Every structure is written in structure tokens, then in C-alpha cells.
Amino acid sequence: MNESIIQLIDVVKTFGDQRVLEGVSFDIPTGKTTVIAGASGQGKSVILKLILGLLSPDAGRIFVDGKDITRMRRKEFNGIRTNFGVLFQGAALLDSLTVFANVALPLEERTRLSHEEISAKVIEMLERVGLQGHESKFPAQLSGGMKKRVGLARALMLEPKIMLFDEPTTGLDPEKSMDIYRLFYQTQQQFGYTSVIVSHDIPKIFNLADQVIILNMGKVLIFKGAKDIQGSGAPSIQALVDKTMGNIYHSNELE
Ligand SMILES: Nc1ncnc2c1ncn2[C@@H]1O[C@H](COP(=O)(O)OP(=O)(O)OP(=O)(O)O)[C@@H](O)[C@H]1O
Ligand SMILES: [Mg+2]
């Protein structure tokens, strides 16, 4: 197994005359949690879209599982895409389908499992994410936190090697946000996926992060974790931390 499941090397991305990424390089370690942070508009979502092949870089290379996706044919890339599970902001559930049907969808579309087999897997997953008893509700009947759980359950159905989360706790109160992060931690322990989380909730999420990537003015700063950032005496980093994150939060709440 590769030590790094994703690698960006000197990635440049511009939109018109706006340079969003000015030569960004980092590795995402396999089986660990990487948090991508930074102020609004710095290019966090753009990075996720580049990794997913929804955008192409102007320059640089992006490796997924040792293969350069920027030089790949569509067919080969579609194979790579099956490694990813994605939870976007708002969870992107299908409003006309029940919780059960939303979670069953990936298995119905991508596998040849029988109805009984799918049903058993869906029920098991809904239990894992704490949604038993809510199978027949529609998205409009769910709270924000429940929607995120459904989105997570659906993303995990095909047992992805890599989970990408874009602002997964937007719109949730602090307690519900912690519940969601706890659930990420638990499911990651169970499934062993590599986790990439874009988040503004930096203080809360530090306990989860094996690596923190801070995006600022087209460049990245890479830290091993909260202590590494706090320990950095550089005034520019401290200023950035103050500006983008506020106080750093200490607790073992996720354990
Ligand atoms: N498809 C696009 N076309 C043109 N500009 C884009 C496109 N996608 C992103 N941008 C621009 O790139 C910059 C970075 O956008 P991005 O969505 O990555 O920000 P972000 O860091 O995710 O911010 P937020 O925290 O608000 O979600 C923004 O200025 C945005 O307007
Ligand atoms: Mg974004």
C-alpha cells in the first residue's frame, strides 16, 4: 500500500486572471485524517474538485493511488473514481426518495446485489450512523444533522478508500457538529478510509487531524497537528491562525 494515497505536486489553478492555487504541493497519508482549512474563497473546494477530477489543473500533477489523474483517459479515471466517497455541504440527498432509498441507491446502481442483500446492508449502515427507525422518512422530514448522517451512510455504502468531506457541519449547532465529527472518527476506525475534511471548525476538529493543511493566498502550509501549529513561533502563522481559526480548542471529546 502507498504511504500517501493522494499527492499534489506544484498544482496551479486559475480562473480567468484569478490565480487560486499558485503551485500547491502536499501528500494525503493513507488511512489518516487530513483537514484542509483556510478563509473563505481560498480554494479549499477547488482542491477537492481537482482531486475528484471535476476540475483540471493548469499545471502540476495529481496522483491518486500512484496514478497521475491529470493524464488519464476518462475510462481509466472512472475506475479511480470508485475509490472516492463524497459528502458535500447540504448532503445532496434526493428529496423524492426516502432515507432508505437514498442510502440504497449506490448499491442499486453499482452492484448486482439482490433486494434482500441491499436491504440488509442498508439497515446495518443506518444503525451504524444512528438512524434506525427513520428509514421511511423523506429528507424534508429530517434535521440538518440527520441529513448529514444519511449522506455519510450513502457515501460509505460502496466502502470507499477515500472520503472527502466539504464543510460537513455547516448549519449545525456546536453539539451536533461534535456528534458528526465523532461519527467520522468512529466510521473511520471501522472502515479504515482515508479522510479529507474541509472545515471552518478548526478548533473542534483538531483532535481528529493527523495533518492540517492551511490554504492562504494560493499557497499551503502543512502541519502535523494542532500542537505543531501552536508551536510555530512564526508571526505570520500566528496571525493566520488567529484570523482563520480563533482560539485552539483542547479536549479529548472525540475519544
Ligand atoms: N468554476 C469556477 N469558475 C470560476 N471561479 C471559480 C470556480 N470555482 C471556484 N472559483 C473561484 O475560486 C476561488 C476559490 O473558491 P473555493 O470554492 O475553492 O473557495 P473555498 O476555499 O472553498 O471557500 P468557502 O470556505 O467559502 O467554501 C473563489 O474565488 C471562487 O470564486
Ligand atoms: Mg468551499
60 alpha carbon to ligand 1 midpoint, in Å?
19
- d(CA 201, CA 84) in angstroms, rounded, equals 23
Of 165, 157, 196, the closest CA to residue 31 belongs to 196
Task: Decide: 216 in ligand 1 pocket, CB within 6 A.
Answer: no
pLDDT at 251: 45
Pocket test for ligand 1, best of 17, 18, 21, 45 (most atoms within 8 A of CB): 45
List of the chain residues with pLDDT < 70: 1-2, 90-91, 201-206, 226, 230, 233-234, 236-237, 239-255
Task: Decide: 42 in ligand 1 pocket, CB within 6 A.
Answer: yes
pLDDT at 121: 95
Task: Decide: 45 in ligand 1 pocket, CB within 6 A.
Answer: yes
pLDDT at 92: 81
- d(CA 212, CA 196) in angstroms, rounded, equals 10
pTM here is: 0.87
Of 227, 252, 255, the closest CA to residue 241 belongs to 227
pLDDT at 164: 94
- d(CA 82, CA 243) in angstroms, rounded, equals 37
- β-pair type (194-198, 162-166): parallel
Ligand nearest to the backbone CA of 55: 1
Please tell me the residue having the least CA distance from ligand 1 atom 7. Answer: 15
40 alpha carbon to ligand 2 midpoint, in Å?
7
Residue type, 204: K
- pLDDT tens string 82-91: 899 998 876 6
Atom of ligand 1 minimally distant from the CA of 215: 21
- Per domain, the residue ranges of the chain are 90-159
